[in-house]
Amino acid sequence: MLGQSLLASGLKWQKLERVYMPFMEYEAVIGLEVHVQLKTRSKMFTRAPYSFGHEPNTLTDPVVLGMPGVLPVMNHEAVHKAAALGVLLGCEIAPRCKWDRKNYFYPDSPKNYQISQFDQPLCLGGSVEIEMEGPSRNVMGAHRHVQLTRIHLEEDVGKLTHFTNDSLVDYNRAGAPLCEIVTEPDMHSADEVFAFMTAIRNAIVSAGLSDCDMEKGQMRCDANISVRPVGETKLGTKVELKNMNTISGVRNAVAYEIKRQVFAKKNNTEVIVQETRRWDPVQQVTQSMRMKEESHDYRYFPDPDLMPVEISTEVLQKIRAELPELPFDRQRRYMESYDLPYTLTSVLCPDYELSVFFEAALAATKGKGEPKAVANYICNELLRDLTAAEGEGRAPLAESVITPAHIGELVALIHDNVISKQIAKDVWAEMSHSGLMPATIVEEKGLKQEQGDSGELEALVAATVADPKFAKAIGQYKDGNDKALNSLMGPIMKATQGKANPAQIVEMLKKAVDGA
């Protein structure tokens, strides 16, 4: 096996690309099955609650445990949220869908079957817009749509924890509402898979349908991978990958598996068979688990205890009206309407909470501030403070003492020349500590800019222009470089403790230099 030979030689998959590339005569074909746990108050077919972090087997009831004589009752909220996901991704919502039993015998399914949807799923078609990495972090990459096959709704299974000699099962998760998003075999690289997982997570979280926390099992992914000679249309033998619990882990696993299959085909080291493999994030290899099942192995049949589901046009219209815009649509709007650069929109737009904060802060300026100034304060100062407060990761936005009103008022004060950008730094430091509004801080600390042609300011400007160390900068200004005068600003602002009006200083400097 390639993975075993790599381990024996001490090589990791990252080095494999350098050793065995290029594999240009082969291409990968990849489809994903993404499982997303919907954010609902109770489970899919019972009122038993579900949330992460409880003691094992404390969130169960007779329905979850499959006791004799119990009957499932459908969770309407889960159906509406699944339909909302379909609308969000441009799917056709089936006017009628039904429930099926997927039969298999495994400890994580106490009933020995899972209630799912087979031949009549809730959502058909649709697509997910993805962005590939650009030539640099400051440049937008290429966009395209990955096509979806379907989205169906089902109940989740329990969680198995394996030890050396035994395994334990926790049924807390069993029965939670789960959407399975199935793509077409429409991706061809690990980077596309990474872009897809990032895009669909951002879209779902923005819509409030799920938190998609992969570490909590709220979003899981299976990848189906095959390789074939470039130009061939027939799909190769499909291998399914499981046990990937981070988006970067999905990318790494797919990248390794592509290389493993291509190496096997080029060197005839093994026959690629249809199987399920697990990803070992420590060894950075895939390992065989079992032969892949076919749909007939699950013996699907309609669930006799549940009626089919019909969603009316009126309900769909209500769902559509309540959904927010997709992150990439929001990004295009910010770039076109607010003239924000990609560097700022790529931070704001994937985070729906941050986007709402930005728009509220912009409204709080009451038309007295540039959108770019507001975005800069959020993306740089606010996020820096939140990251510093958390140590690792980022503290929740709700925990910040800085509100949209703080940023809006601060930007308006700068716009009205009440304070300079330099003084604004001191105001930010104080309000992030005390929570006081910027205007209050400026008033209490006497930070307002000094206005007018005071003799003191004119003397400072004259002394600075006469200082020999600024002769080079003055010469550059006279040669047509207006920005050269910026180097003369520092001593003047320092002498006035930052209270002088920068625009006024620039005008006085130009007048003094031109008259010299």
Average pLDDT over residues 281-292: 89
First-to-final CA distance of the chain: 81
Of 80-84, 215-219, 502-506, which gets the smallest average pLDDT? Answer: 502-506
Q: Is residue 317 part of a domain?
A: no
Q: Percentage of the chain surpassing pLDDT 70?
A: 92
Could you tell me the pTM of the whole model?
A: 0.84
Q: What is the largest CA-CA distance in the chain?
A: 99
- Average pLDDT over the chain, rounded to an integer: 89
Q: Judge if 235 and 128 occupy the same domain.
A: yes
Q: Are residues 376 and 494 in the same domain?
A: no
Per-residue pLDDT for 8 more than 70? no
Per-residue pLDDT for 5 more than 60?
no
Q: For 98-118, b where at least 16 C-beta lie within 10 A, e where not — what string?
A: bbbbbeeeeebbbbebbbbbb
Q: Return phi, psi of residue 476, to 5°.
A: -65, -40
Does the structure show a pLDDT above 60 at 14? no
Instruction: Identify the weakest region by mean pLDDT among 22-31, 97-106, 251-260, 335-344.
Output: 22-31
Distance of alpha carbon 254 from alpha carbon 171, whole angstroms: 30
Kindly tell me if the per-residue pLDDT of 107 is higher than 60: yes
- Look at residue 316 and tell me if it is in a domain: no
- Answer yes or no: do 295 and 330 share one domain: no
The answer as to whether 356 is a domain residue is yes
Residue 375 sits in the same domain as residue 496: no
Determine the angle formed by the axes of helices 247-267 and 2-9, rounding to 10 degrees: 100
8 Å CB contact between 416 and 438: no
CA dist., res. 114 & res. 180, Å (int):
13
Instruction: Compute CA distances 102 → 96, 111, 150, 376, whole Å.
Output: 19, 11, 17, 51
The predicted structure's pLDDT at residue 6 = 43
Look up residue 483 and give its DSSP letter.
G
User: Beta partners for 93?
Assistant: 123
d(CA 267, CA 473): 66
At residue 169, the pLDDT reads 95
Q: 24 with 114, same domain?
A: yes
The Cα 380–Cα 500 span in angstroms is 25
Residues 226 and 373 in one domain: no
Q: Tell whether the model's pLDDT for residue 457 goes beyond 80.
A: no
Residue 498 pLDDT > 70, yes or no?
Answer: no
Any domain includes 27 = yes
Q: Is the pLDDT of residue 18 over 80?
A: no
Q: Are residues 428 and 500 in the same domain?
A: no
Over 60: is that where the pLDDT of 9 sits?
no
Q: Which of 445, 476, 504 is the last residue of a domain?
A: 445
Of the listed ranges 97-106, 290-299, 307-316, the one predicted with least confidence: 290-299
Which band of pLDDT confidence, cut at 50, 70 and 90, is reported for residue 21? very low
Question: Whose structure tokens read 């200004």?
Answer: 477
Does residue 22 carry a pLDDT above 70? no
12 has pLDDT over 70 = no
User: Looking at residue 465, which CATH number applies to its domain?
Assistant: 1.10.10
What is the CA angle 87-90-94, rounded to 5?
Answer: 60
pLDDT for 452 equals 52
Domain boundary among 284, 310, 336: 310
Which tokens hold the place of 419?
A: 């304070």
pLDDT digits (tens, 9 = 90+) for 160-184: 998 889 999 999 999 999 999 999 9
Residue 65 within a domain? yes
Report d(CA 321, CA 340) in Å as an integer: 27
Q: Is the pLDDT of residue 2 over 50?
A: no
Query: Average pLDDT of 420-434?
Result: 92
Which of 77, 108, 82 has its CA nearest to residue 97? Answer: 82
pLDDT of residue 20: 41
The total number of residues shown for the chain amounts to: 516
- Alpha-helical segments (H) within 283-403: 313-322, 327-337, 342-348, 352-364, 371-376, 383-390
* pLDDT, tens digit, 9 for 90 and up, residues 61-101: 999 999 999 999 999 999 999 999 999 999 999 999 999 99
Residue 320 falls within a domain, yes or no? no
Contact 130, 195 (CB under 8 A): yes
Q: Which residue type occupies 500?
A: A
Asked if residues 280 and 286 have their Cβ atoms less than 8 Å apart, the reply is yes
Range of 496's domain?
455-515
Q: What is the pLDDT of residue 175?
A: 96
What separation in angstroms does the CA of 48 have from each of 63, 210, 220, 247? Answer: 9, 18, 22, 30
Can you say whether residue 57 is alpha, beta or left, with left for phi > 0 and alpha for psi between -120 and 50 degrees?
left
Element (H, E) at 261: helix 247-267
Q: Is the pLDDT of residue 4 over 70?
A: no
In a domain, 319, yes or no: no
Which residues are bridge partners to 30 per DSSP? 187, 225
Q: In the prediction, which pLDDT does 154 show?
A: 97
Q: Do 255 and 190 touch, CB atoms closer than 8 A?
A: yes
Q: Which phi and psi angles does 269 have, rounded to 5°? A: -85, -25
SS3 223: strand
pLDDT of 411 over the 90 cut: yes
Single residue among 286, 310, 334 that ends a domain in this structure: 310
What's the pLDDT at 415?
92
Task: Examine the pLDDT at 17 and tell me if it is beyond 50.
Answer: no
Over residues 216-222, mean pLDDT: 94
d(CA 185, CA 226): 9
My answer on whether 262 and 348 are in the same domain is no
- Do residues 146 and 295 share a domain? yes
Q: Give residue 428's pLDDT band: very low, low, confident or very high (50, 70, 90).
A: very high
The answer to which of 128-132, 186-190, 416-420 has the lowest mean pLDDT is 416-420
Q: How far apart are CA 328 and CA 326, in angstroms?
A: 6
Q: Domain tally for the chain?
A: 3
Radius of gyration of the chain (CA): 30
Q: Are 256 and 286 a contacting pair, CB within 8 Å?
A: yes
